Amino acid sequence: MALSVEGKHALITGAGSEGHANGYGAVDTGISLAFAQRLLQEGCSVVIGDLKLGAEAEALLGSYPHPPPAAGRPSAIFHKTDVTSWPQLASLFAAALAAFPTLDIVVPGAGLYDPPWSSFWQPPRTATNPDSASRDKADGEFGHYAVIDVNLVAPIRMSQLAIGHWTKRGQRGCIVHVGSVAGYLAEAASPLYFASKHGLHGFVRSLGDLRDELGIRTGIWYQDPGRADEILQGCKWLTVDEIVQAMFDLTVKAEYGNGTILEVTPGATRVVPMFNAPPPKPGAVHMPAMGAFHEKLFDDLRSSGLDV
Ligand SMILES: NC(=O)c1ccc[n+]([C@@H]2O[C@H](COP(=O)([O-])OP(=O)(O)OC[C@H]3O[C@@H](n4cnc5c(N)ncnc54)[C@H](O)[C@@H]3O)[C@@H](O)[C@H]2O)c1
Ligand SMILES: *[C@@H]1O[C@H](CO)[C@@H](O)[C@H](O)[C@H]1NC(C)=O
């Protein structure tokens, strides 16, 4: 039996994104925004947390004004949030609960794919490494990598806040995380991104028992990699609709939600088993230009070493 999202309330980060075609095929970014739109279409109100609000997201908010013009209609609000700030995350939850009676669905969708300013191969700037593009701080006390903070720490903190809300109210809830094949493959080009997704997959699996014990569903949607990046040229792409459908299924299908990892690759969807999972379908994860990138990385490391 499927659950319904109608009349429910969702909090979703990363949905302020414009989304942009990657130039190689169908996949756009803007996954969270597309999911927010789907939830609203299904009658679920939405709170968007993001650094900024793009034109498309602003138009979506315009179509679902808050408070709604007629009772019972879904509405949407935006709360400017940097998810790496725990006070701002708390303020996001407070703003959501000031606007709506409760929260039923939480989607930590904000994510970073190894930007130069937080990439393992651009170590934090020091006297011996003055030209690094990194904005992570070498003298950080405590030390931080932004990619880990956005992709892993923030989703964990949001889950904690959501579970607190639901257990204190004796209420059911659902958390949909955004994973990646990076959650169980390995790649030297983007070790921080891969580590963040491995961590997230383990976190989601670990909360699997909450469904049957507490009625709190947790799941992760993941797809083959895609991003507007030259190393991904030639990949097969999913459409945003396929992605959004998988995230929606994760939210409403009763058989999911116990730490389910729902893998969606072009033409194939499966629940990834906990142990001895066969690799994704041959060809589903295919990054033809990665080889050259990989080779250059090791050439550079052999010839110049890594400045830290
Ligand atoms: N695009 C893909 O092909 C793909 C593949 C696998 C996984 N994913 C995952 O999907 C998720 C969304 O990615 P996307 O491709 O839609 O990206 P996107 O760039 O469209 O959206 C990411 C959003 O996160 C927001 N964000 C970044 N840092 C933030 C911060 N500190 N605080 C608040 N918001 C912040 C950005 O402003 C942006 O709106 C990520 O977790 C990503 O790893 C994407
Ligand atoms: C999750 O629940 C489904 C049925 O709803 C069950 O078949 C599956 O074994 C469960 N998975 C785990 C890891 O408990």
* pLDDT tens column, 74-95: 999 999 999 999 999 999 999 9
Mean pLDDT score of the chain: 89
Q: Over the stretch 154-173, which tens digit does the pLDDT of each residue have?
A: 999 999 999 999 999 999 99
* Residue 212 Cα: closest atom of ligand 2: 2
One-letter identity of residue 227: R
The residue whose CA has the least distance to atom 7 of ligand 2 is: 255
Residue 280 scores a pLDDT above 80? no
List pocket residues of ligand 1, CB cut-off 6 Å.
13-14, 16-17, 19, 27, 29-32, 50-52, 81-84, 109-113, 150-151, 178, 180, 223, 225-227
Residue 235 scores a pLDDT above 70? no
Residue 234 scores a pLDDT above 80? no
Q: What's the pTM?
A: 0.93
| Residue 2: per-residue pLDDT | 80
Tell me the pLDDT band of 289, cut-offs 50, 70 and 90: low
User: What average pLDDT does this structure show over 4-26?
Assistant: 77
| Residue 18: per-residue pLDDT | 66
| Residue 206: per-residue pLDDT | 97
Tell me the pLDDT band of 225, cut-offs 50, 70 and 90: very low
Residue 24 scores a pLDDT above 60? no
Q: How far is the CA of 212 from the centre of ligand 2 (A)?
A: 10
Q: Which ligand is nearest to the CA of 254?
A: 2
Among 52-56, 140-144, 180-184, 304-308, the least confident range: 180-184
The residue whose CA has the least distance to atom 4 of ligand 2 is: 255
Q: In the 3-class helix/strand/coil scheme, how is the chain assigned residue by residue?
A: CECCCCCCEEEEECCCCCCCECCCCCCECCHHHHHHHHHHHCCCEEEEEECCCCHHHHHHHHHCCCCCCCCCCCCEEEEECCCCCHHHHHHHHHHHHHHCCCCCEEEECCCCCCCHHHCCCCCCECCCCCCCCCCCECCCCCCCCHHHHHHHHHHHHHHHHHHHHHHHHCCCEEEEEECCHHHCCCCCCCHHHHHHHHHHHHHHHHCCCHHHHHCEEEEEEEECCCCCCHHHCCCCCCCHHHHHHHHHHHHHECCCCEEEEEEEECCEEEECCCCCCCCCCCCCCCCCCHHHHHHHHHHHHHHHCCCC
Question: Cα 301 from chain centroid?
Answer: 31
Tell me the pLDDT band of 114, cut-offs 50, 70 and 90: confident
Percent of the chain with pLDDT over 90: 75
Tell me the pLDDT band of 23, cut-offs 50, 70 and 90: very low
Percent of the chain with pLDDT over 70: 88
Taking a C-beta distance cutoff of 8 angstroms, is the pair 196, 146 a contact? no
* Residue among 138, 68, 62 at smallest CA distance from 99: 68
Taking each helix axis as running N to C, give the angle between helix 154-169 and helix 86-99, from 0 to 180 degrees, rounded to the nearest 10: 40
| Residue 243: per-residue pLDDT | 86
Tell me the pLDDT band of 288, cut-offs 50, 70 and 90: low
Counting every residue written for the chain, the total comes to: 308
205 lines ligand 2 (CB under 6 A): no
Q: Which ligand is nearest to the CA of 285?
A: 1
